[in-house]
Chains A and B, each alone.
Chain A
């Protein structure tokens, strides 16, 4: 599996650290309540198919990326800088 880092180009999967679902970017407000925080921290859609997750280019440029890929085929569609993808 290779990920095309917007800064560094196509790089081996070994250079990246996987954080998890990109919903980590949608941090709830402090007073959003228990359910919202439980959903944010624990509950996942866990899709079989296309997903978007956060990877850290640990052994490269040090950027956080939102990687769009397929969990069934391992195809990597696109990687964007998390700072630009932030909703």
Chain B
């Protein structure tokens, strides 16, 4: 289906009745070469890259709800590659490069906007840490500019620079960071995969994984049994339940992370701004709403809605950093279910069951990883070899203690990330 300005006007005049679904609604086949459990951003991009990069088109994505209804539709849409530790650094660098060609690859407007991301710092020690992080980003081939106070002021004149508790000393500017239209990312990957022959099967919940002699044979679903030579689990917050179907317990605890959006305002925040001291980050959507969030609620939860203490904390942080938004009215808040690992970094790996693969543990950072995760997971599923940029995302690093990636430096323990 073609999209154009003319078409938008024409459909507007005729009641929007001419639009057709852009992907099929197939019934599940009896057997596939590969099955992806989970039709979120990561699952759909995995299917897309399996088809595009590896020629695997006899595959299905099984989604228990509807496409784009999980975390890919519930995040704060930030895209960045400002990681420090080896493992994360090369992975997110690769993912950002895929973002930069995504619209051409998918022929779909995901409204990827590299408006620049600024991480603020508030002390000499923090400046040193950000200088070091910026150097790591540059060494990785990405972009980072250390801004002093006046440099930040030139970009973000509206901040409270002389806050008594957290005066602004400067910021680390990542010009290639930005945002994207999150739903469009899911839709673009779904359409791209469908066009290559992938079956996207919605309202199809996996209820069991068939394993014989240590080898995966297929899955049981609410729409019947489906055979498959390979199965990939990409179910984010629900990883624990699906892995249990294969007799596994994962190093994952599911937590709720909240996000907020205000009424639409005129353009006022041009960048993505993050305020580490209050754990607060904000950008403005193209509709004008201020989209912002904070930290997880810090207790295990599947509720997809949060509690008041974290809401209060996020609003406190907003008012501390940019008092100008105090009169904006919050329209909505919601929560996503985060698959938290002990070290805060993800897992893309094989499982002890042959033919069964897992991609999980994205914690609070899954959205920017959508293309990179799908690309690397597709590589692993198709070739059996780890893809270089994701080669350190091993499941056994917690048991062995080797290769932990604790980006926040808080310790590799469940309740600390």
Q: Mark A32-56, 1 if CB is under 8 A from B, else 0.
A: 0011001101111111100101000
Which A residues are in CB contact (< 8 Å) with B300?
20-21, 46, 51, 53, 71
- Contact among A39, A51, A73 with B303 in the assembled complex (CB-CB below 8 Å): A73
B206 → chain A, closest Cβ, in Å? Answer: 15
Q: Is the CB of B302 within 8 A of A44?
A: no
Which B residues are in CB contact (< 8 Å) with A53?
299-300
Which chain B residues numbered 304 to 323 have a C-beta less than 8 Å away from chain A? 307, 309
Which A residues are in CB contact (< 8 Å) with B250?
43-44, 46
Interface residues on chain A, number (Cβ under 8 Å): 26
Which chain B residues numbered 237 to 251 have a C-beta less than 8 Å away from chain A? 238-241, 244, 249-251
Q: Is the CB of B309 within 8 A of A48?
A: no
B326 → chain A, closest Cβ, in Å? Answer: 23
Q: Is the CB of A20 within 8 A of B309?
A: no
Q: A1-B307, A18-B415 are in contact. Are A44 and B398 (CB under 8 A)?
A: no
Closest to A74 in B: B303
Q: Is the CB of B254 within 8 A of A46?
A: yes
* Docked pose: A54 CA to B26 CA in angstroms: 46
- Contact among B298, B301, B303, B414 with A44 in the assembled complex (CB-CB below 8 Å): B414
**Does B253 reach chain A (CB closer than 8 Å)?**
yes
Q: A20-B253, A39-B249, A42-B251 are in contact. Are A48 and B398 (CB under 8 A)?
A: no
Q: Is the CB of A21 within 8 A of B253?
A: yes
**Does B399 reach chain A (CB closer than 8 Å)?**
yes
Q: A20-B414, A21-B253, A41-B398 are in contact. Are A46 and B303 (CB under 8 A)?
A: no
Q: Is the CB of B251 within 8 A of A44?
A: yes
Q: Is the CB of A44 within 8 A of B240?
A: yes
A35 → chain B, closest Cβ, in Å? Answer: 8
- Contact among B252, B301, B307 with A71 in the assembled complex (CB-CB below 8 Å): B301
* Docked pose: A39 CA to B345 CA in angstroms: 18
Secondary structure dominating the interface of B = mixed
**Does B342 reach chain A (CB closer than 8 Å)?**
yes
* Docked pose: A18 CA to B399 CA in angstroms: 23
**Does A19 reach chain B (CB closer than 8 Å)?**
yes
Which A residues are in CB contact (< 8 Å) with B303?
71-74
A8 → chain B, closest Cβ, in Å? Answer: 18
* Docked pose: A18 CA to B414 CA in angstroms: 10
Which B residues are in CB contact (< 8 Å) with A45?
240, 244, 249
- Contact among B239, B254, B398, B415 with A42 in the assembled complex (CB-CB below 8 Å): B398
Which A residues are in CB contact (< 8 Å) with B252?
44, 46
Closest to A48 in B: B302
Q: A19-B415, A34-B399 are in contact. Are A42 and B302 (CB under 8 A)?
A: no
Which B residues are in CB contact (< 8 Å) with A41?
342, 398, 413
Which A residues are in CB contact (< 8 Å) with B298?
18
Residues in A lying within 8 Å of B, measured CB to CB: 1, 12-14, 18-21, 34-35, 38-39, 41-48, 51, 53, 71-74
Further 6 A-B residue pairs, CB within 8 A, beyond A19-B415, A51-B300, A71-B300: A21-B300, A43-B249, A43-B251, A46-B239, A47-B240, A71-B254
Give 13 A-B contacts (CB < 8 Å), ordered by A residue: A13-B307, A18-B299, A20-B415, A21-B300, A35-B399, A46-B250, A47-B240, A48-B238, A48-B240, A48-B302, A71-B300, A71-B303, A72-B302
